[in-house]
């Protein structure tokens, strides 16, 4: 599908093959909805003379709508240190989970981590509360061993002892402390005897003797001792 867009002062008019106007949009969410409707992953941006001046991809839109989620193609060769750090966490988790079991990837984001875990697990369920992230995951990483679910972790439930491993990387800092503790208690019930939880979360940092939060999207950064105590409880 060829999608053209004409820049206007009050927004962007999008049309298919330059024939009819689909809608005007001033929001990224509208662009995303159009991509879903047309089942395309790129919008071409053209000027009033229909000369192409650029493009916007599904990854561009979703990255802006879903801050702190990384949209990664594992087939690409990455040198970005942030991407390499996130991949390294999942590779560490891969070495810790029980082989051949059922794994829950909490706040799976764009799904690349679940794809990594599926190299060892028989079944990986990636869960995230972002519809954009889940749609990206479904289109890029869903396979026989990995599937994805749109769900808030606080509303998620499994039977007692139904999971072999749970992976929760850079998740708890986005959840209020009391809710994070409740989720950890539920994870403890979900895990089978001998099950494994692999989790990471940034510790509260201090600068000139004063605490500071590393990201405006974090609501629950804790000092090291308090973070460890949260897991021990």
Q: Which residues pair with 200 in a beta bridge?
A: 169
pLDDT in tens, 160-186: 999 999 999 988 887 878 888 888 999
Q: With 0.75 as the threshold, say if the pTM is over it.
A: no
Whether the CB-CB separation of 165 and 101 falls below 8 Å is answered with yes
Which residues have a Cβ under 8 Å from the Cβ of 210 and sit 6 or more positions away?
Answer: none
How confident is the model at residue 9, as a pLDDT? 35
The CA-based diameter of the chain, rounded to the nearest angstrom, is: 66
- pLDDT at position 116 is 95
CA distance 144 to 168: 22
Residue among 95, 98, 33, 89 at smallest CA distance from 61: 33
pLDDT, one tens digit for every residue, the chain (233 residues): 333 443 333 344 444 333 333 333 344 556 666 666 677 777 766 655 666 556 667 666 655 555 556 666 666 665 667 677 888 999 999 999 989 999 999 999 889 999 999 999 999 999 998 888 898 899 889 999 999 999 988 889 999 999 999 999 988 887 878 888 888 999 999 999 999 999 888 877 777 777 766 666 677 777 778 878 877 76
Which domains, and CATH codes, for the chain? 3-65 (3.10.580.10), 81-232 (3.40.50.150)
Q: Which helix (H) or strand (E) holds 25?
A: strand 20-25
């Amino acid at each position: 599908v060829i999608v053209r867009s004409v820049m206007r002062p009050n927004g962007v008019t999008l049309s298919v093959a330059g024939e009819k106007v689909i809608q005007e949009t001033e929001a990224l969410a509208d662009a995303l909805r159009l991509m879903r409707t047309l089942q395309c992953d790129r919008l071409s941006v053209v000027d009033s003379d229909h000369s192409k001046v650029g493009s916007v991809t599904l990854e561009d839109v979703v990255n802006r709508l879903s801050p702190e989620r990384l949209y990664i193609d594992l087939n690409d060769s990455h040198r970005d240190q942030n991407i390499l750090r996130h991949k390294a966490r999942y590779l560490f988790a891969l070495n810790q989970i029980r082989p051949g079991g059922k794994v829950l990837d909490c706040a799976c984001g764009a799904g690349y981590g679940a794809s990594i875990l599926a190299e060892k697990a028989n079944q990986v369920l990636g869960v995230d509360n972002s519809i954009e992230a889940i749609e990206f995951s479904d289109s890029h990483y869903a396979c026989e061993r990995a599937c994805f679910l749109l769900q808030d972790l606080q509303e998620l439930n499994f039977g007692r002892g139904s999971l072999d491993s749970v992976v929760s990387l850079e998740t708890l800092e986005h959840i209020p402390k009391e809710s994070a503790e409740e989720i950890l208690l539920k994870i403890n019930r979900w895990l089978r005897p001998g099950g494994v939880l692999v989790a990471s979360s940034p510790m509260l940092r201090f600068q000139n003797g004063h605490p500071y939060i590393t990201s405006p999207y974090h609501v629950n950064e804790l000092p090291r001792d308090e973070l460890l105590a949260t897991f021990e409880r």
